[in-house]
Amino acid sequence: MTLHASKLAEDLNLNNIVSRQFDKAAAMLKLPEGLLKQIKVCNTVYMVQFPVRFGDKYEIFTGWRAEHSQHKKPVKGGIRYSETVTQEDVMALATLMTYKCAIVNVPFGGAKGGVRLNPRSYSPEQLEKITRRYTAELIKKGFIGPGIDVPAPDYGTGEREMAWIADTYDAFHPGEIDNLGCVTGKPISQGGIRGRREATGRGIQFALREVFRNEQDLKKIKLSPGLSEKTVIVQGLGNVGYYAALFLEEEEGCKIVGIAEYEGGIFDARGLRVKDVFHYRKEKGSLLNFPGARNFKDSIALLEEDCDILIPAALENQITLENARNIKAKVLAEGANGPTTPEAEEILMKKGVFVIPDIYLNAGGVTVSYFEWLKNLSHVRFGRMEKRREEQTMANLVQTIEDAVGKKLPEHVKKKIGRGPSELDLVNSGLEETMIEAYHEIRNIMETRKNVTDLRTASYIDAIEKVATSYLELGVFP
């Protein structure tokens, strides 16, 4: 099949793809048609064009903020800086955020924002001006606030931009004590929470760990339980891909055999040290020609190499009719939003590939954003009140055991047992519980509902039913 023919054969519009996935799941539910339409539609979309002055010249930027559903408040979703972002992209991503929050039982509606620009083309000072002006536009129309709409980082943005947003919001709302809760993903010193930067990657780790505990599913794809020695290819070396690969390598014993970025990819069957690749790329400006690895000028081609787990953690539409038949991975773990088209997924399913959908797998970010938001509203760091008390309780318990048996425990053992939980410990504990609980919810739907044969459809069913329940209980639909 030629590239031109394949493009005509499949729809690569993310908004249309999300809509089709919704329709597939909704057809299996006995809910009022009007209620399903309300859940499906994006409630509000704000488009703005705003000028920013650089020296003696002005540049006009286009930005959006989409709020998909207010069945829970506030709404929540990242802000993307990309020269390819469109209104339909933002609407689709806002929709996915609603479903994502529902699946992991985070009480937010979904939202998403974007500004059309290439952040690499602007200096930090210029990006600050753009970010502050975009934030001012959101404030003027009521599209941001700790109880209204809470943005977060996304592709092309990070902690720095979130700090600028928080400061701009605070300047417009002097004296309001919950101002830091207007945005998440901030630096620790500005009200952020430990573990947020790596949260999506950490969530992928926890989810895969749980998937690889289920012998029944693993038998179907001919893999042994446990992640140790499983081979992994990761596309994307941003926060999501980097931390997912790092944790799988260092904490789960996986072998990272391939890493892809926009400039190309590298492959080494013996395994790659993720930190070494990251630092090499930072120094050289490219991961190509990494010592001992084979180069791939086309990063998409790397996805077709042999591995147990493939993690696309970059952008949408990476696995299509063009390459789906060549995918050799046994597990496709969607770290990015919408990396697989429906037509490609059908091919993968027929091949027996176990697909873990984005709508569940990359929900670690919004989960920890929820924890950050709670921290901002409570005005106290997690663990601060109870850490020393728990350490003293455990020390007393150890002393009681030692007195009872007449024997001393080694100091390193006592230190390990007696350490009270830090904020990071509590964040990771909450994230792990969330990912495990959500996985078993959607897997149970897949196992028990008639005609549900994949995790994606099960995830949509789970989300739609939860959102529908909220609307019904609110009395919106009698």
Residue 238 belongs to domain with CATH number:
3.40.50.720
**What single-letter DSSP state applies at residue 385?**
T
Residue 370 CB-density burial (10 A; 0-12 exposed, 13-18 middle, 19+ buried): buried
| Number of structural domains found in the chain | 2
Cβ neighbours of residue 91 under 8 Å, at least 6 residues apart? 15, 42, 45, 66, 68, 112
Cβ neighbours of residue 400 under 8 Å, at least 6 residues apart? none
The answer to whether residue 112 is catalytic is yes
**339 located within any domain:** yes
- Shared domain check, 178 and 310: no
Q: What mean pLDDT, rounded, does the chain reach?
A: 94
Q: Residue for token digits 């091949």?
A: 351
The packing angle between helices 87-103 and 423-448, to 10°, is 90
Looking at 331, 361, 391, which one is the last position of a domain?
Answer: 361
Looking at 190, 208, 231, which one is the last position of a domain?
Answer: 190
Amino acid at 229: E
Residue 379 CA to residue 9 CA, distance in Å, equals 53
Q: How far is CA 299 from CA 249, 266, 303, 396, 459, in A?
A: 21, 8, 7, 56, 29
pLDDT digits (tens, 9 = 90+) for 256-311: 999 999 999 999 999 999 999 999 999 999 999 999 999 999 999 999 999 999 99
Residue 329 CA to residue 240 CA, distance in Å, equals 19
Q: Is the pLDDT of residue 374 over 90?
A: yes
- Shared domain check, 289 and 223: yes
Q: Which two tokens stand for residue 200?
A: 């999506």
Per-residue pLDDT at 2: 44
The SS3 assignment for 115 reads strand
Per-residue pLDDT at 5: 46
In the set 100, 112, 375, 466, the catalytic residue is 112
- Shared domain check, 348 and 210: yes
**25 located within any domain:** no
pLDDT digits (tens, 9 = 90+) for 395-427: 788 788 878 888 888 888 778 887 888 999 999
**4 located within any domain:** no
**10 located within any domain:** no
**467 located within any domain:** no
Q: Which two tokens stand for residue 155?
A: 């592709």
- Shared domain check, 223 and 170: no
Per-residue pLDDT at 391: 76
β strands within 6-56, DSSP E: 44-54
- Shared domain check, 99 and 248: no
* Length of the chain measured in residues: 478
- Give the pLDDT band of residue 106 (cuts 50, 70, 90): very high
- The answer to whether 468 touches 33, Cβ cutoff 8 Å, is no
- Shared domain check, 203 and 172: no
- Shared domain check, 136 and 259: no
Per-residue pLDDT at 415: 81
Q: Rounded mean pLDDT of 339-350?
A: 95
- Shared domain check, 256 and 133: no
- Shared domain check, 210 and 130: no
Per-residue pLDDT at 478: 56
Q: Which two tokens stand for residue 189?
A: 């010193």
Q: How far is CA 31 from CA 26, 34, 119, 461, 466, in A?
A: 8, 9, 44, 11, 12
Percent over 90 (pLDDT), the chain: 86
Cβ neighbours of residue 22 under 8 Å, at least 6 residues apart? 39, 40, 95, 460, 464
**98 located within any domain:** yes
**332 located within any domain:** yes
**421 located within any domain:** no
Residue 453 CA to residue 396 CA, distance in Å, equals 52
- Shared domain check, 284 and 156: no
Q: What is the domain range of residue 232?
A: 199-361
- Shared domain check, 182 and 105: yes
Looking at 172, 190, 208, which one is the last position of a domain?
Answer: 190
- Shared domain check, 227 and 118: no
